[in-house]
Amino acid sequence: MALLASLMLATAAQAAADCSVTLDGKSLTAAQVLAVARQDCAVAIAPAAAQRAARAYDLLLAYARLDKPVYGLNRGVGLNKDQTIFQGGEISPEVRRLSEQFNRNLLHSHSAAYGAEAPRDVTRAAMLIRLNTALFGGSGMQPAVLEQYAAFLNRDVTPVMLGEGSVGQADITILPQIGLVMMGEGEAWRGGQRMSAAQALREAGLAPVRPFGKDALAMVSSNAYGAALAVLAAHD
């Protein structure tokens, strides 16, 4: 079984090497979504898009230092929108601790999906679409989170994601499950095997990310899952 799994991974890696999709935040096509979701094509982030996203992240931190109120950054979300998460000034270790705690809590509290598990291709398409839209430069995600999306796609880490429970105008109860796996929580598929997220990260040579700033809100406040379903359904 171990030999078979190794051969399957090697075959998948070779197939991915034969095709690639470079994301710039602007020009992703349905055909490219299908290629990554179903053919395991490799994903790369265009340097200009990475720089644009990094500037957005830096801008958020500048607002935080100035104590400008920003929803989901230094202020809460939903009914807690007027709650202060941390005060302005230097991004001290204590400020980072408070922000990381808020991000973890937001992912946990919003992870309320139910129903059947989403198919692998749908989850991969959702991760790709969310990464691409984040690269447009408006989400403010930290670069480490963006890189984790790409690494999940390139190293065959697919979060176990229940697929029902969207509310409002976003998939805010479904997409947090991806964020939890990025932190090493929950479960994921790798090499055709279901395992703990922590084990999947270890096998893929990845470290857990620590969502900070507005990462968690940006992860969940998206229509990426719905868009993934639409792209695959339109093709089928």
**Which residue has better confidence, 165 or 210?**
210
pLDDT at residue 95 is higher than 50:
yes
Q: Looking at residue 17, what is its pLDDT?
A: 52
pLDDT at residue 3 is higher than 70:
no
pLDDT at residue 13 is higher than 60:
no
> Which DSSP string do the residues of 11-28 spell out, in sequence order?
HHHHHHHT-EEEE-SS--
Residue 219 · residue 174 · CB < 8 Å:
no
For the chain, the first-to-last Cα distance in angstroms comes to: 33
Q: Looking at residue 6, what is its pLDDT?
A: 47
Distance CA 215, CA 170 (A): 16
Length of the chain: 236
- Provide the whole-model pTM: 0.90
pLDDT tens digits, one per residue of 177-202: 999 999 999 999 999 999 999 999 99
pLDDT bracket for residue 37 (50, 70, 90): very high
**Which residue has better confidence, 90 or 2?**
90
